[in-house]
Copies of this chain bind each other. A is one copy, B any other.
Amino acid sequence: MSSPTARTAPRKRRRAAAAPAAARASLTPEAWIEAATAVLVDEGIDRVRVDVLAGQLGVTRGSFYWHFRDREDLLRRVLRAWSERATEQLTRRLESASASPRAQLRDVMSLPFRGRAAARAARIELAIRAWARRDDIARQAVDEADASRIAYHTQVFGGLGFAAEEAAMRAFLLYSYEVAESLLNRQGSAAQKQARSAFVERLIVQPLGGP
């Protein structure tokens, strides 16, 4: 769940503000998307407006319309960029499917703990979830990302030998845990988080005993 694009946004914004007018006119759509993502995280969706972004980027509102039809178009592309990063990661993981299922499990479980990149990605994701409460397009993007990730987790548990239905239930529980480690990141010390991650890794692969 890392997000190199969004992380570099503030630096790029500063560069853009200091750049000569010719360079400003050549702002890429990606620069607008990065800036919009940063404003979404820091100030909320209502502040993601063409005038606010143009001001931050030091360009005219008009230059926005060179790349985007309207604000709606920008918002869709913010979501698409986020979804692509989420999907991309899954793809990278699927490509490394030669790793043992147990190594794949450890890999997905390490995601919430990958330092600043994970923390930044978590902030973007929570901002998008908040937006999704009030917007159907955002809602759909979030639902799809969750479904893809749960499907990937299901595949990992399938690789570990669990039947489809049980693999899906274990996948949901593990994904819940990962979302919570990111959402409830103030709960527990670093040592406690490490201990419970090791604990969850053991419990989640345990076959179910008698009823």
Residues in chain A within 8 A of chain B (CB atoms):
41-47, 123, 126-127, 129-130, 133-134, 139, 143, 146-147, 150, 165-166, 168-170, 172-173, 175-177, 179-181, 183-184, 186-188, 192, 195-196, 199-200, 202-204, 206, 208-209, 211
Contacts and interface: CB of A to CB of B under 8 A. Distances in A.
A165 B191 CA distance: 12
Given A43-B134, A46-B46, A129-B183, 14 more contacts: A44-B44, A44-B45, A146-B184, A150-B187, A170-B203, A172-B180, A172-B196, A173-B200, A176-B177, A180-B180, A183-B183, A202-B208, A203-B208, A206-B206
Contacts of A133: 41, 123, 126-127, 130
A151 to B, nearest CB: 10
A145 to B, nearest CB: 10
Contacts of A181: 176
Given A129-B126, A169-B196, A195-B169, A203 B202 contact: no
B169 A134 contact: no
A157 to B, nearest CB: 12
* Identical subunits present: 2
Given A46-B44, A147-B187, A186-B143, A169 B199 contact: yes
Shortest Cβ-Cβ A-B pairs, 4 listed: A130-B130, A176-B180, A169-B196, A169-B199
Contacts of A203: 170, 173, 203-204, 206, 208
A147 to B, nearest CB: 6
A202 B168 CA distance: 15
5 contacts: A127-B130, A139-B186, A169-B199, A172-B184, A176-B181
B44 A134 contact: yes
A83 to B, nearest CB: 15
A72 to B, nearest CB: 18
Contacts of A166: 199
Given A180-B175, A180-B176, A42 B134 contact: yes
Contacts of A184: 146, 172, 175-176, 179
